[in-house]
Amino acid sequence: MEQYLRVGVISNTHGIRGEVKIYPTTDDIRRFKKLKQCVIDMGREKIPVEVEGCKFFKQTPILKFKSIDQLNDVERFKGKDLLVHRDHAVKLEKNEFFIVDLIGLRVASDEGMDVGTLTDVLQTGANDVFVVETADGDEILIPYIEQCVPEIRPETGKVTVHLLPGLMDLNRK
């Protein structure tokens, strides 16, 4: 299980006082208002930073880190992931999961058929869609709705799906 979760990408600098614009990769951008500690992923090293303040400009979060007060100090962070430790992540409701915890789970039908491995989650707006890779390399798209996905158990590494009639044929190449 990943210890760090990406909440955004530092897209650019803002002003001359060391602020950065964030491209959010989280569902709720208001979470940045409560963000106190985070980590900048520089590739080989992770730099812990404390958030001094947050403001928004046209739905874009702008963060100010403590002890970083110059434009030159934040230039090197452009394009880097902004992470939070799992302990500081937003609390999930019942039947909510972090996508990173779903990738790699085995998918089986409620009739016992091995469907494949969950490789991606597409966020369509209406509902999420699970991308499942079968043993023969095909992809099956399964809508993440209660009728099609009755059970998700990351702790056991399994997802149970109900395959609606024609769903497997619809997704075959």
For the chain, list the domains and their CATH numbers.
4-88 (2.40.30.60), 99-171 (2.30.30.240)
Q: What is the pTM of this model?
A: 0.74
Q: Are 101 and 86 in contact (CB under 8 A)?
A: no
pLDDT band at 63 (very low <50, low <70, confident <90, very high): very high
At residue 163, the pLDDT reads 87
Confidence of residue 40 (pLDDT cuts 50, 70, 90): very high
Amino acid identity of residue 118, one-letter, is: L
Per-residue confidence at 62, pLDDT binned at 50, 70, 90? very high
What are the tens digits of pLDDT across the range 75-106?
999 999 999 998 888 888 887 888 889 999 99
